[in-house]
Chain A
Amino acid sequence: MVPRVWSLMRFLIKGSVAGGAVYLVYDQELLGPSDKSQAVLQKAEEVVPPAMYQFSQYVCEQTGLKMPQLPAPPKFNFHIRDTWNSGIITVMSALSVAPSKACEYSKEGWEYLKERTK
């Protein structure tokens, strides 16, 4: 009798956890349109770091431990898209002027050699 009740309780607990997870996904529309997902990601980026900080503060207060202050991560002001685009434009413009430049430099080299051999 008791093992049966216990197994039923276990099944109900597992079912409620799984059902809660499915309901959370449905309620937050995580598997819905892409703009909703983007909004959820932005909201998570705003909410999660302060929540983590407050949780760590709470744990420190309750346990008496002092968490070491980590240095702030370095901020990179590197825009990949802009540098990639400008890199592509530079490479393509260099390739387009390469034949005329090669011709020009070879003429100058030839003139220089002619002057030197005079």
Chain B
Amino acid sequence: MSDSELGRKWDRCMADTVVKIGTGFGLGLVFSLTFFKRRMWPLAFGSGMGLGMAYSNCQHDFQAPYLLHGKYVKEQEQ
């Protein structure tokens, strides 16, 4: 992986993290205000979900060039 590609991946990762944490926080805020009587746990839950999803995306993005994809081939009977 070249430096520029690595830099682009990091940029994408950071932007994704910001958007997902913000989205999770926003959804948690909406649900906290509407259904859960202004408790704090929906905000924490939503932010945590967003962070976890962003981490998973970043991990997949960085590991993708090095993952080997194989398939099973049946042995042909002689």
Q: Which of A1-9, A25-33, A60-68, A99-107 contacts B (4 or more CB under 8 A)?
A: A25-33
Q: Please give, as numbers and ranges, the residues of chain B lying within 8 Å of A92 by CB-CB distance.
A: none
**A18-B35, A81-B7 given as contacts; is B12 within 8 A of A30 (CB)?**
no
The proximity string for A residues 17-46 relative to B, scoring 1 for CB distances below 8 Å and 0 otherwise, is 110011001000011011101101100000
Task: Give Cα distance in the complex from A15 to B31, angstroms.
Answer: 9
B34 adjacent to A25 (CB under 8 Å): no
A-B contact count (CB 8 A): 47
Chain B 20-63: CB-based contact to A (< 8 A → 1; otherwise 0) = 10011011001100110000000000000010011001100100
Whole-angstrom distance between the alpha carbons of A9 and B70 in the complex?
A: 56
* Chain A contacts for B57, CB-based, 8 A: 33-34
| Contact residues on A (Cβ < 8 Å of other chain), bracket | 10 to 19
Q: How far is the CA of A40 from the CA of B24 in the complex (A)?
A: 15
Contact partner, B16, options A14, A25, A38, A81, Cβ 8 Å: A38
Q: Are A25 and B15 in contact (CB under 8 A)?
A: no
